[in-house]
């Protein structure tokens, strides 16, 4: 049986997934806010100084917050998300987040 490939290739990571499950909201120390839903956009905010990163999970109706060690956590999370980019049943490991429902 052929294994399903959920990984986004080099072109696909520049676009939002066909079905958006996660919306990422970055809050900066100066109070400005930006949102994104593609791997590329999230990877671009990864290098910025962030006050908080919030992820809206549109599938489970949950809100995930990350305020400490954001860059290190994204270093771990982003490669996993890329491998599961088109797997709409994949859940982010909420161990790194404060969860609000």
**Residue 96: what are its φ and ψ, rounded to 5°?**
-90, 0
Q: Please check the confidence at residue 101 and state whether its pLDDT lies above 60.
A: no
Residue 66 lies in a domain: yes
d(CA 89, CA 50): 28
CA atoms of 76 and 93, how far apart (whole Å): 11
Is residue 67 in a domain?
yes
Confidence (pTM): 0.83
The answer to whether the Cα torsion of 37, 67, 82, 58 is positive or negative is negative
Q: How confident is the model at residue 55, as a pLDDT? A: 93
- 100 found inside a domain: no
Q: Is residue 56 within 8 Å of residue 88, measured between CB atoms?
A: no
Instruction: Kindly state whether residue 5 falls inside one of the protein's structural domains.
Output: no
Is the residue at 101 inside a domain? no
Considering the domain boundaries, does residue 33 fall inside one?
yes
Number of domains in the chain: 1
Structural domain for 35, as ranges: 12-90
Residue 77, in any domain of the structure: yes
The fraction of the chain above a pLDDT of 70, given in percent, is 90
């Amino acid at each position: 049986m052929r294994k399903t490939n959920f990984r986004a290739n080099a072109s696909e990571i520049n676009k939002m997934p066909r079905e958006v499950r996660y919306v990422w909201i970055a809050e900066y120390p100066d109070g400005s806010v930006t949102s994104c839903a593609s791997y590329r956009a999230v990877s671009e905010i990864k290098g910025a100084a962030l006050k908080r990163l919030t992820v809206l999970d549109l599938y489970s109706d949950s809100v995930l917050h990350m305020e400490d060690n954001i860059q290190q956590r994204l270093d771990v999370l982003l490669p996993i998300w890329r491998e599961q980019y088109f797997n709409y049943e994949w859940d982010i490991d909420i161990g790194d987040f404060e969860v609000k429902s």
